Structure 1
Amino acid sequence: MIEKLISLNGYNVIEIGEFNGINGLWGAVKKYSDYNDVLLFSTEDMISNLNVDDLKLYIKNSLNIYNAHLNIILLTESNYADNIIETIKIKEIEEFSTILNYKDRVIFYSGIKSSQLVKDITYVPEEKRELSHIVNNNRKIPVITYSIIVINILFYIVTMFLSGNLFNSDINVLVMLGAKVNYLIDQGEYYRFITCMFLHGGLMHIALNMYALYAIGPLVESYYGKIKYLIIYFISGIVSSVFSYKFSDSVSIGASGAIFGLLGATLILAYRNKHKIGKGFMQNIISVIVINLIIGLSIHNVDNFGHIGGLIGGLLVSLIIFLVSFKEKEVNKM
């Protein structure tokens, strides 16, 4: 709350320190043209021993803050305000008081003349709502992500049935169902650039990929929206297949290229919002990408060119989406 008041609403922190034997008093001040809005953060114990008139003089004489409107913010863990309200009534400051349960982050009392303070605490500018929008949307069912997972599982069931093996897929069955096979693509079977994204070589292969999709997909889907999410997923998967076609002669299958594209989209998301959520999230995403690329290089029969292609595809298409959205916002402002 304090960080928000400072960064969004123009308050500056002030430390009162010791006052009339009370330690740890601190607050914030916001300057207006004809007065200063002063917030004092206190507890019930502190306020019961506080002389408000003396405090106003202290603020004026020692802190050189004149014509101060003193607002008291009482911090409590309780959800019962009766005792605290009685205390501030005795002090004759109930009109300028706000009672905040800092544990539950709930304001459950606001005086008549502290309405502006409550607005400052609760108001969030439009451009700052984006990440909370993501969080709220994440609670919704990620329909596209779950649908893609179901399609992959259905493809694997068919593969398993035709292979006659639960744990490992027959290479001939994979080729028949649409694996990336260079010489067949050369003969015009371009659909394999897409169908190979839904085939997997074994139970462990599909389990790991679907878990990764389940972990990453909902965030990307909620941030970019369903249509853009589908565009990112399929373009990343196709670019992955093209990279594999160009740089590898091996038969290639799996959703991992498209999933690397989602990691690229998440990286663009983190970069775009680094001023809101810090650089830590972006660094974590970079670490995940690097670790997965290293693991891929360390394991035999992993299509690393497909992974790199998917990552590049996801980065590029997400960046384009971001730039187009930015231009649209600029046009709307004109």
Structure 2
Amino acid sequence: MATGGLKYNFARLNIAEKLIAINVLVFILDGLARALYNYSLSEWFQLPKAYLAFFGQPWSLVTYSFFHAGLGHIFWNMIMLYFSGRIFLNLFGNQKFLNVYFLGVIVGGLVFLLSYNFFPTLLQSNTVLIGASAGVTAVLIFVCAYLPNQEVRLLFFNVKLWYIGAFFVLIDLIQIPYGGNVGGRLAHLGGAFLGYLYARQLLNGNDIGAGFGKLWNGITQLFQPREKKVPLKTVYKKKTSKAQGKAEYDKAAHQKRIDDILDKISKSGYESLSKAEKDFLFKAGKQE
């Protein structure tokens, strides 16, 4: 019953809330592994800084987003995902949300990889990337760019969405020169760029995530149980001879002519019939 209740409650969540639940579950499991076995599950899923290490675990370009460094890290990410997700899902459906979120994760990860190899002095020698920040930032900046003048309530006053988006981008830009999680800041900016580009293109009628959505659906269908095919029953049609077919055709034509004559009588009276029609109707009556 407990498992059934959890499944039911999980199914009732929207897609943003489901992502939050998954992130929290992974955080708890990783914490238990650290406490009980002194081992972190994130080592297999975090995004490394070097190309060679990345090629050894390419799935980390997505999976890094499900692991967090601490309670504060996951708390603020999930709070931002919850509120920006609510605004997003009032505008669009689950598929577009997943497109923006995971494209933000991927672009943020790629910016991190490229930045280390082009600007190695910016990043610490032991840098790896974990956290949902790039995807969360992509969703946040998307709604800020799509509805820039929409006002939201912050404590005691209203603020336009584009002010909020600009604030978070500026915070990341300002902190890069001073060190401290530079890789994460760059990943945030990668997600922000994706969110802004996606929103502006969508306003122009171009969904840049449509291809990713099709790929995503194709992958998920591979893991869905296949429906059992019900064997089709073979229906054997009774063969009809040419003579029988001709007889049925003649009978249908005969009845149609009778119906046409009766319609003519109902509209114009019996006297409107020609001699041939009167004779045909007379003979048909005698055959009945």
Q: Normalising by the residue count of structure 1, what TM-score does the alignment of the two structures yield?
A: 0.47
Conserved? CA contact 1:232–1:318, under 8 Å = no
Conserved? CA contact 1:240–1:305, under 8 Å = yes
Conserved? CA contact 1:179–1:253, under 8 Å = yes
The reply on whether 1:198 has 2:198 as its aligned counterpart is no
Conserved? CA contact 1:263–1:289, under 8 Å = no
Q: Which moved more, 1:153-162 or 1:218-227?
A: 218-227
Could you give the per-residue CA deviations for residues 190-221 of structure 1, whole angstroms, max 9, x where no partner exists? 21000001110111111111111112111012
Unaligned runs of 5+ in 2: 1-11, 117-122, 152-157, 208-288
Amino acid at match of 1:144: I
What SS is found at the alignment partner of 1:201? coil
> Mapping of 1:148-187 within 5 angstroms?
148-164=19-35, 172-176=40-44, 178-181=45-48, 182=50, 183-187=52-56
Structure 2 residue aligned with 1:227: 95
Q: Cα distance, 1:144 vs. partner?
A: 0.8
Conserved? CA contact 1:142–1:221, under 8 Å = no
1:172/1:229 Cα in 2 relative to 1: closer, same or farther (>3 Å)?
same
Q: Cα distance, 1:142 vs. partner?
A: 6.5
Q: Cα distance, 1:298 vs. partner?
A: 5.2
1:294/1:238 Cα in 2 relative to 1: closer, same or farther (>3 Å)?
same
Larger relative helix fraction: 2
Structure 2 residue aligned with 1:146: 17
Aligned residue pairs, count: 178
Q: Cα distance, 1:293 vs. partner?
A: 4.4
1:219/1:234 Cα in 2 relative to 1: closer, same or farther (>3 Å)?
same
1:288/1:171 Cα in 2 relative to 1: closer, same or farther (>3 Å)?
farther
What SS is found at the alignment partner of 1:324? coil
The reply on whether 1:313 has 2:182 as its aligned counterpart is no
Structure 2 residue aligned with 1:300: 180
Conserved? CA contact 1:220–1:266, under 8 Å = yes
Conserved? CA contact 1:297–1:304, under 8 Å = no
Q: Distance in 1 between matches of 2:21 and 2:105?
A: 17
Q: Cα distance, 1:296 vs. partner?
A: 6.4
Unaligned runs of 5+ in 1: 1-140, 327-334
Q: Cα distance, 1:156 vs. partner?
A: 0.5
Structure 2 residue aligned with 1:286: 166
Higher RCO (C-alpha under 8 Å, 6+ residues apart): 2
Conserved? CA contact 1:236–1:311, under 8 Å = yes
Structure 1 residue aligned with 2:146: 269
1:206/1:171 Cα in 2 relative to 1: closer, same or farther (>3 Å)?
farther
* Structure number with bigger Rg: 2
Q: Cα distance, 1:300 vs. partner?
A: 1.6
Structure 1 residue aligned with 2:134: 257
> Mapping of 1:98-137 within 5 angstroms?
none
Q: Normalising by the residue count of structure 2, what TM-score does the alignment of the two structures yield?
A: 0.54
The reply on whether 1:324 has 2:205 as its aligned counterpart is yes
Could you give the per-residue CA deviations for residues 177-202 of structure 1, whole angstroms, max 9, x where no partner exists? x0001332133x22100000111011
Amino acid at match of 1:179: Q
Q: Distance in 2 between matches of 1:280 and 1:259?
A: 19
Amino acid at match of 1:163: R
